[in-house]
Amino acid sequence: MSRICIYPKDIARITGKSYRQSLRIHHAIKKVNKKQPHQVVTLEELCAYLGLEKEAVSGMI
């Protein structure tokens, strides 16, 4: 079973952006989805935000 929660380090690895920029993307995803600080970002939310296919991203995590 693969992980479904995404952290800024994962976003940096997937996109090739810096950790700081990935942290901004992580916060933007939370803001768009109206999540509270203790809630996690899921793989589906990341893919929807970045416009990527889930199958392509799930192999990188």
Confidence category of residue 60, pLDDT binned at 50, 70, 90: confident
Question: CB neighbours of 27 closer than 8 A, spacing ≥ 6?
Answer: none
What pLDDT was estimated at residue 9?
A: 96
Confidence category of residue 59, pLDDT binned at 50, 70, 90: confident
What pLDDT was estimated at residue 1?
A: 56
Backbone angles phi, psi at 25, to 5 degrees: -65, -45
Domain positions in the chain are 5-58
Question: 1-51, pLDDT tens digit by residue?
Answer: 577 899 999 999 999 999 999 999 999 999 999 999 999 999 999 999 999
